Amino acid sequence: MLLLFWLSASVSVAQEVRWDSTVRPDIYGARVDLFRSLPHSRKDVVFLGNSLTFWADWSDLLGNTRYKNRGIPGDITFGMLERLDEVIQGRPASVFILIGINDLARNIPDSVILRNYRRMARRLKTGAPNTRIYFQTLLPTNDTFQKLKNHYKKEEHIRYLNQALKEMAPAEGFDVVDLHPHFVDESGKLKKEFTWDGVHLTLAGYRKWADVLRAGKYIR
């Protein structure tokens, strides 16, 4: 169903912003089918997200085969909710979630993204009560690359969502891994050495991500 949102551009002018909760990347079905076919273990540590998660080989990066990649390029929070049952059924030891930048690129409102974060946390808590839940803050972007224009200039939304996620965490029973400060430069953009297009990460970016997880003792 196509969802419409109206935003006021001024007191007298209204701008119509359209967003679609049903959009799924072409690879979505094949990846979900693959995930459902794989064995599960309660010792698993699941990385759940979009292309930022997908492009990392977590087992190699973190040095243990129990780290599982559940990233789908182009995914949004609605897509993650749709496939969350696969993670819940596995009842992993922990799950690390990073999602939302594609929602912003598609003009999905902050309030809807936050509602979906809350829905994820509650479903995980209910279906897999022994699973430790970590939400990771959204990374900054860098518009100087001029490649993914719909994703750029969302910094105000990113900061708002990250702060709201931290405020939500105690009541919803999850922890927050604050990635954002480790990736942002003095001007508020994603550090150039960590990205090749202003959104996605280089090897240096993934190594930084792994370092943050190790330093915070989120992984062992």
User: So where are the chain's domains?
Assistant: 24-215
Q: What is the mean pLDDT of residues 144-163?
A: 95
Model confidence over 86-111: pLDDT tens digits? 999 999 999 999 999 999 999 999 99
Closest CA to 38 of 74, 91, 90: 90
Token pair recorded at residue 133: 């839940």
Q: Provide the pLDDT for residue 146.
A: 86
Q: What is the mean pLDDT of residues 120-124?
A: 98
Model confidence over 1-39: pLDDT tens digits? 444 443 333 333 334 578 999 999 999 999 999 999 999
User: Per-residue pLDDT for 127 more than 60?
Assistant: yes
Q: What percent of the chain has pLDDT over 70?
A: 93
Q: Provide the pLDDT for residue 16.
A: 59
CA-based torsion, 213, 214, 218, 219: positive or negative: positive
Provide the 3-class DSSP secondary structure of residue 27. Answer: coil
- CATH second-level architecture of 24-215? 3-Layer(aba) Sandwich (3.40)
Mean of all residue pLDDT scores within the chain? 92
Q: Provide the pLDDT for residue 79.
A: 98
Model confidence over 43-73: pLDDT tens digits? 999 999 999 999 999 999 999 999 999 999 9
pTM of structure:
0.91
Q: What percent of the chain has pLDDT over 90?
A: 90
Q: Which has more pLDDT, 10 or 197? A: 197
Q: Provide the pLDDT for residue 4.
A: 44
Task: Look at strands 67-71 and 132-136 and give their pairing.
Answer: unpaired
Q: Provide the pLDDT for residue 186.
A: 96
Q: Provide the pLDDT for residue 17.
A: 72
Say which residues have a Cβ less than 8 Å from residue 128's Cβ, sequence separation at least 6. 87, 88, 90, 91, 92
Closest CA to 71 of 88, 87, 94, 93: 87
